[in-house]
Structure 1
Amino acid sequence: MTQRCDVVIVGAGIAGCAAAIAYARYGLRVILVEAHRNTDAFKRACTHLIQSSAVPTLRRLGLEAEVEAAGGIRTDLEFHTRAGWVRYPRIASGPDATYGYNIRRSQLDPLLRRTAAETDGVRLLRGARVRELQRDGRRVTGVVVQNEAGELVPIDARLTIGADGRHSAVAGLARVRTIKTSHGRFGCFAHYTGVLDKSGAELVTRGDGPAQATSRLWLLDPDIAYMLPNDGRTVLAAMVSSERRDESLRNLDNHINSIFSRLPGGPDLSNARRVSNFTPIKKYQSVWRRPIAPGLALIGDAALVTDYLWGAGIGWALQSSEWITDATALPLVSGEPMAPALRKYAYRHFRRLGLHHAFNANFATGRKMNALERVLFGAATADEEIGARLLDFGSRKLNPLQAFGPGLLARAWRLHRALEAA
């Protein structure tokens, strides 16, 4: 029997659940299709950072307090390159506070899925997989799913959304334009307890307010390492050239220890204990897809998968869910055509993320820093404004053109020359 709704969303991960919650709050009927039967399922190949650029989306959904209650740690980010540290923490409370969150996906994914399932207007179909797209000419008008009983169920919808990840079945069925680029690095990460700061202090500060910590990224050029303090655990990750993959895989414990033992300002691992399996990322591709087709939109990883080095995936999933609902919810309520609203979403998606992805995909080849990057990172160690712009770029609040205008680049170049001459 055909089911009908305003919006059918395929994929009950972060992007899909956030979009379902937002649409339902406009009074729209949403069917949320999820292949997993287990409500507590979560993505494992993720380092669990929500960039500060996505925290306003959490607030708008009314979920920031729930994220903190589930173990989310407020975090700022520091970079280290051969030029030194870029560290301008702005985590203090108040209207100008700038922070992201570290939270395990085993906590975040079930939280969002339960919230979506409990939201009036959302119906969650678990254990259901998309088999076909329904069409009226070129326009997508819904999906056909196979439910847990093996039955094929047509779902008619005014808008179909693919939120089903980097291997999106919806995108494949829609045959949207796709560009894939290969990575030149091998990465792995694991969870640890007992990790301390170099001084022996705890990484997470707990007081009267929310728990706080500093996440650190070492750009060793070309090797990379980062540390993300979580609730009771710390994620340690390392990335090296793909040519060293087989060597690293022989003993991942030694691989992690050898890299972290030589980090400037690195953590104290003398009492650290690994409490999870390693997650090795052997082969990876950046994926860009055109995020719209007639009657269809892609959000989250279904639309864009970038270099995991920068920890942008969760934030972009949340933000793209916000952008699609901002563009289409009112037209859906009023019965207006979808085409202009979808074009508005596609434009915003490209304007906010296109240049970020171009940079990330290029850097993901495993190359060393180019001259401009060395100038910017070097100047950022000595100039707070340049450092703040670099950190805002890294947290995806500003795209490259917004972050690095001609005046700032000229200032960075003069400072770079002065530092070299000193």
Structure 2
Amino acid sequence: MGVRASTPQGEREIRARLVVGADGKDSAVAKFAEVPVQQYENARFGYLAHFRNLPLHGGIGQTWFLEPDMAYAFPNDDGVTVMAVLPDKKRLPAFREDLEGSFLSFIRALPEAPPIDSAERVTKIIGAVNYPLHSRKPTAPGVALIGDAALTGDPLWGVGCGWALQSAQWLAEAVAPAATGRGDLDRSLTVYERRHRRRLRGYQYLAADFATARPFNPLERLMFSAAARDESAARHMHLFASRLISPLRFLNPMAVAKASVVNIKHRGAAVPPATRLSRTGS
């Protein structure tokens, strides 16, 4: 195994027992190794910009579940706040016709919207109109993929960098014995592949399903509504959205029962047209 590079002095071949692909969702390493890819369409697009002097409700990050549109507000350093919108692609023609106007109008229409008109925008509005999800087998003979090269999630959940660091750690732990001559490399890669699949496959399945911009299912509606009404349910939702707990733990019987109790207590209250969740980070 190894790689072949083109240099000003001509082609150069570098031999290695293991080639690591850490080159993103369009991984050249995966293509050269002929690792098949499974692609899931993303029915949303996204744009973001940075603003100064944009106060947020409670002073913490916020998420809007608008079914099917999404929006985020995250405080950054030096008094700067990131505003991101992820609308259904049905709204893409309007954004293409007037990006700034559509972006600002979208934010103004949010429930309890941040005062965007009194803030100072300090960056351009940037984004992507087509960002599908990718899943690849994270190993091949003499090859290992980490980060987006192995699994590209939906930017909506903001976990790509975390997964990149986690998968790099899992790979290092798995192959360390083989790298020092005390283990079998193929067996080490199998260990990495199994851990990667066990830890991330469930999240990716849910993300790919949610990326279709379908309506909330009854269980999602139950859990999201409770998170908007109860502090402990909101913390539980934050742990799941940040991928700090598994889908099974998020939907464990006790959590579902608590969400049911929270919503029953609020049954007589007016139901807001959208759900806004406050969170402390991603």
Q: Which residue of 1 aligns with 2:11?
A: 152
**Mapping of 1:275-286 within 5 angstroms?**
275-286=122-133
Is contact 1:196–1:269 with CA below 8 Å preserved after alignment?
no
C-alpha separation between the residues in 1 aligned to 2:116 and 2:231?
31
Deviations 1:110-134 (A, max 9, x none): xxxxxxxxxxxxxxxxxxxxxxxxx
Q: 1:313 aligns with which of 135, 160, 168?
A: 160
C-alpha separation between the residues in 2 aligned to 1:266 and 1:419?
23
Q: Which residue of 1 aligns with 2:192?
A: 345
Q: Which residue of 2 aligns with 1:184?
A: 43
Q: Which residue of 2 aligns with 1:89?
A: none
C-alpha separation between the residues in 1 aligned to 2:252 and 2:219?
13
Matched, 1:143 2:3: yes
1:163 CA displacement: 0.4
Q: Which residue of 1 aligns with 2:105?
A: 258
The 1:269–1:421 alpha-carbon spacing in structure 2 relative to 1, beyond 3 Å, is closer
Q: Which residue of 2 aligns with 1:173?
A: 32
Of 291-300 and 261-270, more deviation after overlay is shown by 261-270
Q: Which residue of 2 aligns with 1:379?
A: 226
Is contact 1:389–1:404 with CA below 8 Å preserved after alignment?
no
Is contact 1:223–1:240 with CA below 8 Å preserved after alignment?
yes
Deviations 1:328-367 (A, max 9, x none): 1122113421111111111111111111111111111112
Percent identity for Structure 1 against Structure 2: 37
Matched, 1:300 2:147: yes
1:195 CA displacement: 2.0
Which residue identity lines up with residue 411 of structure 1 in the other structure? K
Deviations 1:177-232 (A, max 9, x none): 21001111121112222323369xxx5xxxxxxxxxx2211111121111122223
C-alpha separation between the residues in 2 aligned to 1:181 and 1:379?
29
Matched, 1:222 2:81: no
The 1:271–1:415 alpha-carbon spacing in structure 2 relative to 1, beyond 3 Å, is closer
**Mapping of 1:28-107 within 5 angstroms?**
none
Matched, 1:289 2:136: yes
C-alpha separation between the residues in 1 aligned to 2:176 and 2:43?
40
TM-score by length of 1: 0.60
Is contact 1:292–1:298 with CA below 8 Å preserved after alignment?
yes
C-alpha separation between the residues in 2 aligned to 1:243 and 1:270?
25
Deviations 1:222-276 (A, max 9, x none): 2111112222332211111112101112222212221221323332223323232
C-alpha separation between the residues in 2 aligned to 1:367 and 1:343?
35
More strand as a share of residues: 1
The 1:400–1:346 alpha-carbon spacing in structure 2 relative to 1, beyond 3 Å, is same
More helix as a share of residues: 2
Q: 2:85 aligns with which of 230, 238, 251?
A: 238
1:373 CA displacement: 0.5
C-alpha separation between the residues in 1 aligned to 2:261 and 2:54?
39
Q: Which residue of 1 aligns with 2:273?
A: none
Q: Which residue of 2 aligns with 1:194?
A: 53
Is contact 1:291–1:303 with CA below 8 Å preserved after alignment?
yes
Q: Which residue of 2 aligns with 1:365?
A: 212
C-alpha separation between the residues in 2 aligned to 1:187 and 1:150?
43
Is contact 1:389–1:403 with CA below 8 Å preserved after alignment?
yes
Which residue identity lines up with residue 3 of structure 2 in the other structure? V
1:180 aligned counterpart, secondary structure? strand
Q: Which residue of 1 aligns with 2:263?
A: 416
The 1:142–1:335 alpha-carbon spacing in structure 2 relative to 1, beyond 3 Å, is farther
C-alpha separation between the residues in 1 aligned to 2:72 and 2:158?
10
Matched, 1:334 2:181: yes
1:419 CA displacement: 2.6
